[in-house]
Structure 1
Amino acid sequence: MSHIAVERNRRRQMNEHLEVLRSLTPSFYIKRGDQASIIGGVVEFIKELHQDVQSLEAKKRRKSPSPSPCASPRPATLQPSPKLSESSQIGGPHDNFKEVGTCCNSPMAEVEAKISGSNVILRTVSKRIPGQLSKIINLLEKFSFEILHLNISSMEDTVLYSFVIKIGLECQLSLEELALEVQQSFC
């Protein structure tokens, strides 16, 4: 086989594999169709999935026999966060990888909210509660958020909701306030 044919076959295989990666990755992770953007988006998606797995494993390890119905949440700020309506300053064109976030945990649920680029990534880990997803969606819509992506993962009686949400112009909540509001929806 000639060198040209070997190279053509290699490029064809590479393009096929990139297309498979692109089809397996949610579209908002891939900004453009070039190879570097596809690979970069896949890397970000895998990092997020890895965090989801770690969160679920931690929740499984901490599983308590009988959590109290609704203990008061304990916010744990990772970094100070500005008002979400000012997030355009955080996610500007030269600042795509800066992340600001907060956690709010209780025996009922773990809630994490962080700004990534121009969106908010919101994750909750809790025991399976009928109707809880609807409560969270209604709450986000009430505060002018647009849900871009929702991923639901479950293991036994634990469920992880992972939202990517767009911040509405009318939104006046800080990340801490958002995490606390979502935390209180579990009560």
Structure 2
Amino acid sequence: MSHIAVERNRRRQMNDHLKVLRSLTPCFYIKRGDQASIIGGVIEFIKELHQVLQALESKKQRKSLSPSPGPSPRPLVQTPQSGDHVHTPFGIENFKELGACCNSSVADVEAKISGSNVMLKVIARRIPGQIVKIVSVLEKLSFEVLHLNISSMEDTVLYSFVIKIGLECQLSLEELALEVQQSFFPNVVYTHEI
């Protein structure tokens, strides 16, 4: 085989593999059709699937140790560089509130600042109509859903939101995570009505 034929065969295989990757990846992960965008989108999708797997393993361990019926919020603490400040939609803050988690045996909720928006991830067992409840809570709290991705595996689902913070919103990320967590409990009254 000549060098040209070998190279042509390699390109054909690369293009075939890229087509398969693109078909296996939800379309919103891939912004453009070029090779770099396809590979970058696949990487993001795999990272998200990896997070789902870790959350499921964590949930399995928690259930085997001691199942707790109620939510337990906790802030995510990241190590600051000396004197770092973070520009958030809530104002300039010392590096203390970049994210928050609220975990229970029913659902795990994580909220993080991402630029001028909030990334919200919810991992839970599949409950019919739950996504409507979550969106309703977000709207009541003056958030606007910019992007929503739903990934599911058997009876577990991952809701990934990008949400814009409304001008009237006065919640911390920890309070947001707790409010979304409480949407999984039918008899809970929302504490931050606008």
TM, length-normalised to structure 1: 0.72
- The aligned residue for residue 56 of structure 2 is 56
Q: Which residue of 2 aligns with 1:146?
A: 145
CA-based RMSD: 3.3
Task: Point out where structure 1 has 5 or more consecutive residues left out of the alignment.
Answer: 90-99
Q: How many residues align?
A: 172
Distance in 1 between residues matched to 2:115 and 2:181, nearest whole Å: 23
Cα distance change on mapping 1:179 and 1:8 into 2, 3 Å: same
State the match for 1:96 in structure 2.
none
After TM superposition, list the pairs within 5 Å mapping 1:23-172 onto structure 2: 23-63=23-63, 71=70, 73-79=71-77, 85=89, 100-116=98-114, 120-142=118-140, 143-146=142-145, 148-155=147-154, 159-170=156-167, 172=169
In the alignment, is the contact (CA less than 8 A) between 1:85 and 1:170 conserved in 2?
A: no
Does the 8 Å contact 2:89/2:117 carry over to 1?
A: no
**Kept in 1: contact 2:110–2:122 (CA 8 A):** yes
* Counterpart contact for 1:84–1:175, Cα < 8 Å: no
Q: Shift of the alpha carbon at 1:23? A: 2.6
Q: How far, CA to CA, are the matches of 1:22 and 1:56 in structure 2? A: 26
Deviates more, 1:118-127 or 1:34-43: 118-127
Deviation at 1:52, TM superposition (A): 0.3
TM superposition shift of 1:108 = 3.6
- Structure 1 outlier segments of 4+, above 3 Å: 64-68, 79-87, 115-121, 125-131, 168-171
Against the structure 1 CA distance between its residues 170 and 32, is the aligned structure 2 distance closer, same or farther, given a 3 Å change threshold? farther
Question: Which position in structure 1 is the counterpart of 2:14?
Answer: 14
Asked if structure 2 preserves the Cα contact closer than 8 Å seen for 1:74 and 1:105, the reply is yes
Residue of structure 1 equivalent to 2:95: none
Distance 1:33 1:19 in 2: 10
Report the CA distance shift for 1:3/1:117 in structure 2 as closer, same or farther (over 3 A). farther
Q: In the superposition, relative to structure 1, how do residues 83 and 134 fare at CA in structure 2: closer, same or farther (>3 Å)?
A: farther
**Per the alignment, in what secondary structure is the counterpart of residue 183 of structure 1?**
helix
In structure 2, runs of 5+ residues without a counterpart are 79-84, 93-97, 186-194
Aligned residues with identical type, % of pairs: 60
Residue of structure 2 in register with 1:97 after alignment: none
Secondary structure of the residue aligned to 1:186 is coil
How far the C-alpha of 1:101 sits from its partner, in A, is: 2.4
The higher relative CO (CA closer than 8 Å, separation ≥ 6) is in: 1
Q: Is the 8 A contact 1:105 1:111 kept in 2?
A: yes
Deviates more, 1:57-66 or 1:27-36: 57-66
2-structure distance, mates of 1:125, 1:62: 14
